[in-house]
Structure 1
Amino acid sequence: MTTPDIWRKSSYSGGGQGDACVEIAHRPTHISIRDSKTPTSPHLTFAAETFSTFLQALKVPPQA
């Protein structure tokens, strides 16, 4: 039996119902991402290390 993913939204998801954002589910070995407007649609899954590298790259300012 598998444990269902626990999805969470960013605190930056905006006003209203906060349904115009992405949600993530964190597991020890992977991160899943889905569109909050269509939670039953397929989602993307990345290795946890790959997702962490992606987030770090977002934090690096572009070089001129």
Structure 2
Amino acid sequence: MSTEAPAWRKSSYSGGSEGDCLEFASNFPDIVAVRDTKTPTGPTLTFSSAAWSAFLPLPKREAPKG
């Protein structure tokens, strides 16, 4: 296990000044960590590098109408 601290970066798709933001840290060899910027000391999700890479190219989906 690495003792290196996560190098958090804000997602370019985050919601601007409204606080709907995600940060991710990809400075570890095999995982990517994801957290909510509103609760930086809260829970962190971790994904394998392969799963994160597969997730990134997904097209942005519109919210359902109604």
TM-score by length of 1: 0.73
Number of paired residues? Answer: 59
Question: Structure 1 residues 59, 15: CA separation in 2 closer, same or farther (over 3 Å shift)?
Answer: closer
User: Quick one: distance in 1 between partners of 2:4 and 2:10?
Assistant: 19
User: Quick one: distance in 1 between partners of 2:15 and 2:54?
Assistant: 25
Question: Structure 1 residues 15, 59: CA separation in 2 closer, same or farther (over 3 Å shift)?
Answer: closer
Unaligned runs of 5+ in 1: none
How do 1:1-64 and structure 2 match up within 5 A? 2-16=3-17, 19-26=19-26, 27-56=28-57, 58-59=58-59
User: Quick one: distance in 1 between partners of 2:12 and 2:60?
Assistant: 21
User: Quick one: distance in 2 between partners of 1:11 and 1:60?
Assistant: 13
Unaligned runs of 5+ in 2: 62-66
TM-score by length of 2: 0.71
Look up the equivalent residue of 2:59 and give its one-letter code.
K
Deviation, structure 1 residue 60: 8.5
The two structures, once aligned, show a CA RMSD in angstroms of: 2.4
